[in-house]
Amino acid sequence: MDSVLVSACLRGVPCRFDGRDKVSPGLAEAVTDRAVVSFCPEAAGGLPTPRRPAELVGGDGHDVLDGRARVVDDTGCDVTAEFVAGAERALAAARNGGCGEALLMPRSPSCGRGAVYDGSFGGVLVAGDGVTAALLERSGIRVRPAPGV
């Protein structure tokens, strides 16, 4: 069976924007008998931990990759370059690890799959994917939100 790329925060690494982890209670069952490649695209893109919360503005991760949207933090600082760099490094890690699938942190501007925050920092979700999820999908890696988070 293929290896699986997993958001590092879901495996207990304190790398989220708030300096904490977000352990997924259903993750162990979802990755049974598979090699796991843990990865945090935001840290890999050069962002510190902890860091300001960021959201997608003007679209989702696909729009960011196409140059039609950006990622900004809650002070208005543009962190698009760091998110794209992290996504590229996540793709490289997935390919190097032989990953055919990724289980990622829901709602994240990097890892979200199917729903992300709308850029207002008001907790509003909209349909869409994060930057890393979009790049992995475009590259043929199946992306799913991690179970139980």
The predicted model gives 54-65 an average pLDDT of 98
What are 98-139's pLDDT values in tens digits?
A: 999 999 999 999 999 999 999 999 999 999 999 999 999 999
Residue 8 carries which DSSP code? G
What is the total count of domains within the chain?
A: 1
Q: Which domain holds residue 101?
A: 3-145
Q: What angle do CA 21, 28, 147 make, to 5 degrees?
A: 70
pLDDT band at 1 (very low <50, low <70, confident <90, very high): low
How far apart are alpha carbons 128 and 90 in whole angstroms? Answer: 19
